[in-house]
Chains A and B, each alone.
Chain A
Amino acid sequence: MKDDKSKSELNYKDLTQSDKDLVAKLVKGGFSRREVLKLSMVTGVSLVAAEHLLFNGKAAIAATPKKGGSVRMSSNLHGPDDKLDPATFTSTIDYTRGRATYNSLIQHANDLSPQPELAESFEPNGNATEWTFKIRDGVTFHNGGKLTADDVVYTMKRHQGEDSTSVIKSVLASVKEWKKTGPMEVKAILESPNADLPTLLGLFQTKIVKNGTTGYTQKEDGSLEQNGTGPYIMESFQPGVKSVHTRNENYWREGANLDACEITAITDPVARVNALISGDMDMVTQLEPNSFRQVESAKGVTLLSTPAALQMGICCLKNSEPGSSDDFVKGMQYIQDRKRIVKRILKGKGSLGNDTPISPAHGKDWCSELPQREYDPDKAKFHFKKSGYTEAELFVAPVSGGIEDICLTAQANCAKIGFNLKLKKVPTDGYWGAVWMKEPLNVVTWNMRPTANSQLGIQFGPGAAWNDTFWNNARMGELLAQSLAETDPAKRHAMYCEMQTLVHNGSGMVIPAFSNINDGIADNVMGMPTVPLGQLGACEWPEFIWLA
């Protein structure tokens, strides 16, 4: 076998440095068939050997993290409202600082499965109404104290109760009580079964802080009270400017490869890309579609595009006109030129939406059996006509890159069939309080949730706080509760499929496309995770990356 021979002959370690760089670039960017072909042409090896080389190279690169060096990372937003208290985190820069400074009980793997972090193990009782967490021994806070069950119980209780301003209060509302059952053991007692609880405990806001504190706090003299357990110690914090982090030499596990990192934000998208290309920044988040080509063609940097369920949604409120008409919603759904949106507006870095919030990025819970809704002006015209409306006004704010273009495309396509879709442009600041869930037609985006259940429940659960189309379906409520207790994979999948079908056909939600997560990193940044829940591997990079 010729190919087998070439496989055994060609190994990553035998390559020249320039070929190694090429392999490294492909490995990090994720590689397509075309890129494998490119490598094969450049190095002159067969296709099979090239493919082998990439996997081989990936393993070689992944296996050898080096210590040392420092990076600068730029997010897209920051300001005087940057936070230190994990329970109040709301932006990528908060999440990133949180990841560098703290640990959660649970950590998400790239495939979203829950992995032990500060919890050494987690076990449900028979019907998933109680979860027991064994707390890891030998973990110390940055200011010296030892982690115990008290810290965990204290932290978790901050998400409960009337005075709680926790961002994830409602997400963890199913937990009735957090109970210390031993010096290093904590029990969560639930109102109703929840097989997904561990996954939720990997959310950005669940970082564990020391008993009695809100995590890091700024002291009178401006220095920081260091109450985290994470891989890096925060040396300085200037909200809206930057923070500086150095390696935690006492970190309880491998990781923390860098000597230091600086976390800042450049709000202007063009300036952010320029800072990456000119080498001022090693990592930047949120590349806009119009800069993809610039980054891809620039030397020394890589565009990281991770498929995710970042929905580009249009909400038609079912409790007011015109969304109360099912035909109007159908018209809005059929007028979306989905393929064109993914190809032209998202420049291919996205996936088709099927008017449900679940995308292939959700893995096995995505209903692939549900037929894809296509662009069909005739059907749209038919439904608009049946609804009796000839015009409507949609409130648009740039809540996600491309949503304005999607609405403009819909407007143009509506005009072709004689429907007058008016767009009212509004700013993003104040949008969530003043427009979203208030104006009859508005746009929305959601961070991807780690489980299909939380994604569906948060947005389509009957009476849920953020049911943003006011679509209340009793069957949906039943399925949401039942699926959490279901352990048989086939039955579970059937339930999720039924839920997606209900949303697809009945709700007021129009989701023509999902955007990928698009970030840029310098070529010498290695070990980048690809958790699809947020920018730069769901901000998990501080734990994993190293510099080649």
Chain B
Amino acid sequence: MMTRMVMQRIGIGFATLIVVSIIVFIATSILPGDVAQIVLGQSATPETLAALRAQLGLDQPGYIRYFSWLGNMMTGDLGISKAGGATISSLIGGRFGNTMMMAGFVALISIPISIALGLWAAMHPGTWLDRLVTFGTLSLISVPEFFIATVAVLILAVELHWLPSTAYMTGEETFFELMKALAMPLITLVIVVSAQMIRMTRAGILNVMSSPYIEMAILKGVPRGRIILRHAFFNAIGPIINVIALNLAYLVSGVVIVETIFAYPGLAKLMIDGVQTRDLPLVQACAMIFCGTYVILILIADVGSILSNPRLRNPK
């Protein structure tokens, strides 16, 4: 049952990737200008445009370019950046590591904090602490991340000089120096993703708390802490895992604003650059990574919620 579901999901995942690649291809082609025009910019003349298009193989019809890209992709060859001439794998390589490192650190910090705070708030509903957490998270969800980032830079970097204002890495720093360089984006992202996860943990648990079997446990005199940790938490874990998965996917693909403000060389910014230069192979490669991340994380979340739920684990 489980294996079948996983296989099915992987199959659907591949289909999704193909569909996404077609949509990305068409969308990029609809945008005004091609990579030759963007690269030459204001200094383009019809002759240099034609010469560059021929060099880049842009004089081929669209579908041929798509299928040749797809064919190379299947053999693991990501191709060459049309805009700069570097191989896509060399462009993506370091940045993929950076993105994963950032996402990893943020997850390591924010998931324990969020679940702990969410549980805490659920254990003491209606107290001033719960209200504080609720108020804090609601406010932080409503504030856009660029605002949090900019305020953090103004206070911590420009005024107090405690932390660097950009996540500038030399590549030779110690772990402590690395943490210092990454501190600002880490703080910003932890705030942004934690708020949502705290809310969801609290809501999920309180939702389960109103079900009859919890009422039974309360009537039997089980302490509230034990009810939540032993009985409620595992039943609420499905939606929590899903929110965590979505937030992780966001950390991989959607942090372009934070990457821009802190000049952090990550994947999301690379994809935007790719779109701006109409660098199709680059955009496609990034889209595949992002889409693949979503598919895998959602799959893990689904498997997780099935495993945590006996009714789903053993269907009749």
Q: A274-B166, A433-B34 are in contact. List 17 more A-B contacts (CB 8 A).
A: A72-B168, A79-B273, A83-B85, A88-B39, A90-B39, A163-B51, A240-B270, A265-B263, A271-B261, A274-B154, A274-B158, A278-B157, A278-B164, A280-B168, A281-B166, A432-B42, A466-B42
- Whether A90 contacts B40 by the Cβ 8 Å rule is yes
Chain B 35-47 interface mask (CB, 8 Å, partner A; 1/0): 0011111111111
Q: Closest B residue to A222 by CB, please name it.
A: B90
Question: In the bound complex, do residue A81 and residue B83 qualify as a contact, i.e. CB atoms below 8 Å apart?
Answer: yes
Instruction: Return chain A residues, CB-CB under 8 Å to B134.
Output: none
A270 to B41, CA, bound (A): 25
Q: Which residues of A contact B48 (CB under 8 A)?
A: 164-167, 169
Q: Shortest distance in angstroms between A97's beta carbon and chain B's nearest beta carbon? A: 13
Please indicate which of the listed interface residues A82, A430, A435 has the most CB atoms of chain B within 10 Å of its own CB: A430
Chain A interface residues toward B at CB < 8 A: 72, 74, 79-83, 88, 90, 162-170, 218, 222, 238-241, 262, 264-268, 270-271, 274-275, 277-281, 429-430, 432-436, 446, 465-466
Looking across the interface, which residue of chain A has its beta carbon closest to that of B90?
A: A222
Query: Could you tell me which residues of chain B, from 66 to 89, have a CB within 8 Å of some CB in chain A?
Result: 81, 83-86
Question: What is the CB-to-nearest-CB distance from A499 to chain B, in angstroms, rounded to a whole number?
Answer: 22
Kindly identify which residue among B44, B45, B91, B166 contacts A240, using a CB–CB cutoff of 8 Å.
B91
Chain A residues within 8 Å of B263, by CB: 74, 264-268, 271, 275
Contact of A80 with B282 at beta-carbon distance under 8 Å, contacts A240-B273, A432-B37, A466-B42 already known: yes
Interface CB pairs A-B, < 8 A, 20:
A88-B39, A162-B51, A165-B40, A165-B51, A167-B40, A170-B45, A218-B86, A241-B265, A271-B166, A271-B261, A274-B165, A274-B166, A278-B164, A278-B165, A280-B157, A281-B166, A429-B33, A433-B38, A433-B44, A466-B42
Minimum distance in angstroms from A339 CB to a CB of chain B: 28
- State whether A241 touches B33 (Cβ < 8 A): no
Known: A80-B84, A81-B277, A430-B33. A278 touches B161 (CB 8 A): yes
B278 at the interface (CB under 8 A from A): yes
Contact indicator B32/A430 (Cβ below 8 Å): yes
Question: Cβ of B265: which chain A residues have Cβ within 8 Å of it?
Answer: 238, 240-241
Least CB separation from A274: chain B residue: B165
Q: How far is the CB of B284 from chain A (nearest CB, A)?
A: 13
- Residues on B lying within 8 angstroms of A by beta carbon are 31-34, 37-48, 51-52, 55, 81, 83-86, 90-91, 94-95, 150, 153-154, 157-158, 161, 164-166, 168, 170, 260-263, 265, 269-270, 273-279, 282
Q: How far is the CB of A439 from chain B (nearest CB, A)?
A: 11
A423 to chain B minimum Cβ distance, whole angstroms, is 18
The answer, among A82, A83, A241, for a CB contact under 8 Å with B94, is A241
B residues near A164, Cβ cutoff 8 Å: 48, 51
Q: How many angstroms between the C-alpha atoms of A435 and B265 in the bound complex?
A: 31
Q: Which residue of B lies closest to A169 (CB)?
A: B48
The answer to whether A80 and B91 have CB atoms under 8 Å apart is: yes
**Smallest CB separation, B257 vs chain A (Å):** 9
Task: Give A434 to B269 CA distance when docked, in angstroms.
Answer: 24
CB pair A162–B47 under 8 Å, yes or no, is yes
Bound complex: CA A369 to CA B279 (Å): 48
Indicate whether A432 sits within 8 Å of B260 (C-beta atoms), given known contacts A239-B86, A241-B94.
no
What are the nearest 5 A-B pairs in CB distance? Answer: A433-B37, A434-B32, A81-B83, A430-B33, A433-B33
The smallest C-beta distance from B137 to any residue of chain A, in angstroms, reads 27
- The answer to whether A165 touches B157 (Cβ under 8 A) is no
A429, B274: Cβ atoms under 8 Å? no
Asked if A167 meets B51 with Cβ closer than 8 Å, knowing A79-B277, A82-B84, A433-B37, the reply is: no
Contacts of A274 in B (CB 8 A): 153-154, 157-158, 165-166
Instruction: Say whether A270 contacts B84, CB under 8 Å.
Output: no
Q: Is the CB of B83 within 8 A of A79?
A: yes
